[in-house]
Amino acid sequence: TRIQEQTYSTTCWEEWEGVFKLYCFTFVFLIGQFLFMVTFNYILKMAVVEENPKNEVVQRIEKIMKEIYSKRPANHQWKLSDFEIGTPLGRGKFGRVYLAREKNTEYMVALKMMFKSELVKDHMEHQVRREIEIQTHLNHPNILKMLTYFWNEKTICLILEFAQEGELFKVLNSQPHKRFDEPTAAYYLRQVADALRYCHSQSVIHRDIKPENLLLFSHHVIKLADFGWSVHAPSKSRNTMCGTIDYLPPEMVDSQTYNEYVDNWCLGVLCYEFLCGSPPFESSEQAETFRKIRAVMYGFKPHMSESSRQLISKLLVKVPKSRLPLTDVIGHPWIKKNCEIFTKIKLEQKKGHSTTISNLSWTVLCRIG
């Protein structure tokens, strides 16, 4: 079935209305009715949409609000039967992720279902509790939102934003030579760095940065996901070895205490994989991988620019405190230059074309998944 598309001008009400509906439902999920009504009243005062009289905008917004609140009370206790379960999106050791749709509002989400028996068997209850506590308190445009969570006798369910483009790992592997060009790599890396900077400002260490834990949304927005290995560490160092072998920093390999600078190291590994298609310390044997990590032994590929090599070299440093701060990563010349190139390319591609909004049905999305 061919996906139908509706084309609107960038200033028309239909485009604005669709975006507003998504934000309405997200806010109801996150902050409840009272706080949302305060926000809504402020929106009414500020509402100005080009080519539409303000009173028309107000009437349309009020209609949307009545529609949303008539469908689901703000104090509703969520349960699995509130959702229509669609196609599987992924599978992990302790659970599965499905495309799901809230029945009344038809809002599409990702539903992560974990089985209590499996969590108890592997003594992972604390990890899930920590994941929920951390992710529900984070609020950043490049961090995947956990909209809500609930449980029953057998399962724990997390309701997350749905990323239509999926894992960045799959996107990376679909590229020529399984790598991104430098403008794309820089544009994505900047978003990850900003998400990590925010995490660290909230005393959160992610500890498992890799392409599989990055999700791609429309307009090339990257969101950091999977906080299963993350930890809230406001004052003390950690000593748990966790994460993915190819991304482990030297201090973890040597079972030393560590802090948030482990994420800076992982960002360097991520940048390398974006540009080369594989991590810098990858080997067929784990012992060899660890040896390379301890010695910070890796090589650059001929196609990599000098500026990208410099950035990676400043992140893959054995002494944690000597690694380039995330603020400096965001302001690095290679990042700034290539982000400008990326933005310019995308603007050129859009020039002369009106905004398109894909009218993707539930059936089509399930088929895509």
Please indicate, yes or no, if residue 57 is contained in any of the structural domains: yes
Q: What is the pTM of this model?
A: 0.77
Helices (H), the chain: 13-46, 54-71, 116-121, 125-135, 168-173, 182-201, 250-253, 261-276, 286-295, 306-315, 326-330, 333-350, 362-368
Q: Could you read off the pLDDT of 292-325 as tens digits, one per residue? A: 999 999 999 999 999 999 999 999 999 999 999 9
Please indicate, yes or no, if residue 366 is contained in any of the structural domains: no
One domain, residues 154 and 180? no
pLDDT at 366: 59
**Reported confidence tier of residue 182, pLDDT bands at 50, 70, 90:** very high
Q: Could you read off the pLDDT of 124-178 as tens digits, one per residue? A: 888 889 889 999 999 999 999 999 999 998 999 999 999 989 999 999 999 999 9
Choose one of 103, 131, 161: the last residue of a domain.
161
State the Cα–Cα distance between residues 57 and 150, nearest whole angstrom: 36
One domain, residues 149 and 174? no
One domain, residues 135 and 263? no
Q: Rg for the chain (alpha carbons), in Å?
A: 22
Please indicate, yes or no, if residue 361 is contained in any of the structural domains: no
Q: Could you read off the pLDDT of 273-291 as tens digits, one per residue? A: 999 999 999 999 999 999 9
One domain, residues 92 and 142? yes
pLDDT at 2 over 60: no
Residue with tokens 């307009």: 219
The yes-or-no answer on residue 208 being catalytic is yes
Choose one of 18, 41, 73: the last residue of a domain.
73
Q: Could you read off the pLDDT of 76-132 as tens digits, one per residue? A: 788 999 999 999 998 877 789 999 999 888 889 999 999 998 888 888 888 889 889
Average pLDDT, the chain: 82
One domain, residues 129 and 172? no
Q: Could you read off the pLDDT of 249-266 as tens digits, one per residue? A: 999 999 999 999 999 999
Distance of CA 188 to the CA centre of its chain: 11
Indicate the residue type of 313: S
One domain, residues 101 and 142? yes
pLDDT at 22: 56
One domain, residues 157 and 172? no
pLDDT at 91: 81
Choose one of 141, 161, 181: the last residue of a domain.
161
Indicate the residue type of 90: G
Better-predicted residue by pLDDT, 50 or 270: 270
Task: Tell me the C-alpha to C-alpha distance, in Å, between residue 235 and each of 202, 248, 259.
Answer: 12, 22, 9
One domain, residues 214 and 303? yes
**Reported confidence tier of residue 48, pLDDT bands at 50, 70, 90:** very low
How many angstroms separate the most distant Cα atoms in the chain? 68
One domain, residues 202 and 172? yes
Please indicate, yes or no, if residue 367 is contained in any of the structural domains: no
**Reported confidence tier of residue 362, pLDDT bands at 50, 70, 90:** low
Residue with tokens 């895509």: 368
Please indicate, yes or no, if residue 154 is contained in any of the structural domains: yes
For residues 170-190, average pLDDT: 97
State the Cα–Cα distance between residues 116 and 121, nearest whole angstrom: 8
pLDDT at 181 over 70: yes
pLDDT at 25: 58
Task: Tell me the C-alpha to C-alpha distance, in Å, between residue 269 and each of 35, 65, 123, 247.
Answer: 41, 46, 30, 6
Note the residue count of the chain.
369
Indicate the residue type of 82: D
**The one catalytic residue among 208, 254, 263, 328:** 208
One domain, residues 126 and 246? no
One domain, residues 50 and 14? yes
Q: Could you read off the pLDDT of 196-234 as tens digits, one per residue? A: 999 999 999 999 999 999 999 999 999 999 998 899 887
Return the CATH number at 115: 3.30.200.20
State the Cα–Cα distance between residues 91 and 134, nearest whole angstrom: 22
Please indicate, yes or no, if residue 56 is contained in any of the structural domains: yes
Please indicate, yes or no, if residue 364 is contained in any of the structural domains: no
One domain, residues 69 and 198? no
pLDDT at 125: 85
Which residues are documented as binding site for ATP?
A: 93, 112, 161-163, 212-213, 226
State the Cα–Cα distance between residues 179 and 274, nearest whole angstrom: 5
Residue with tokens 């603007």: 347
> Which domain does 335 fall in, by range?
168-350
**What DSSP designation does 45 have?**
H
Please indicate, yes or no, if residue 65 is contained in any of the structural domains: yes
How many domains does the chain contain in total?
3
**Reported confidence tier of residue 28, pLDDT bands at 50, 70, 90:** low
